[in-house]
Copies of this chain bind each other. A is one copy, B any other.
């Protein structure tokens, strides 16, 4: 049994090493430019060892895109509007230091090559933000008449566009500032003034566990 546990642990480590290597290669070359042999090389593994864990580069790319929300875990506990803000800021700060998040942001632009249309990452993030906004509506932070799905789509679309814009102009250095700016424009339409006054921004909200 002990030997089996060692084997399982090794498999988990190998799998994570492959995801990291794939993230590096996708981040540098994009989906089209990457190949399974480049990824196996980068991980220091044989192709056979790689295929044991991932059948194709499509599968690796999906893994990177799908696990993004799990990698964006704000340090502070929060709920409702503050949680939605914390998630977007944690993502914006995290992109600079996390290879897998960075690769995910790049892969988003090519996702029709490896993701089914109904599993796209926009929808995945929209569901997460909408969930926070519904909690905020139940808690009377967000006005009752607000179309929560529409606001969630706007937030996710604006984050996607801001990431592309900021990547070109500042290598993403000003992305957290752009995300805060977005919330400052959107919030007065969406939230009651007392709730807006309580919300916190700034780098401390963007730290990850």
Residues of A within 8 A of B (CB): 30, 32-33, 108-109, 111-112, 117-118, 120, 122-123, 147, 150-151, 153-154, 156-162, 164-165, 167-169, 178, 181-182, 184-190
Pick from B157, B169, B187: contact of A117, CB under 8 Å? B169
Inter-chain CA distance A99–B67, complex, in Å, is 35
Pick from B32, B151, B178: contact of A157, CB under 8 Å? B178
CB pair B109–A168 under 8 Å, yes or no, is: no
CB pair B184–A186 under 8 Å, yes or no, is: no
Chain A interface SS verdict (over half): helix
- Distance in angstroms from A89 CB to nearest chain B CB is 16
CB pair B168–A111 under 8 Å, yes or no, is: yes
New A-B contacts (7) at CB < 8 Å, excluding given A151-B185, A157-B161: A30-B32, A109-B109, A111-B168, A120-B165, A123-B169, A157-B158, A157-B159
Which residues from B are CB-within-8-Å of A188?
188-189
Q: A123-B169, A153-B165, A157-B157 are in contact. Are A185 and B181 (CB under 8 A)?
A: no
Which residues from B are CB-within-8-Å of A186?
154, 185-186, 189
Q: A117, A123, A153: which has the most chain B beta carbons within 10 Å? A: A153
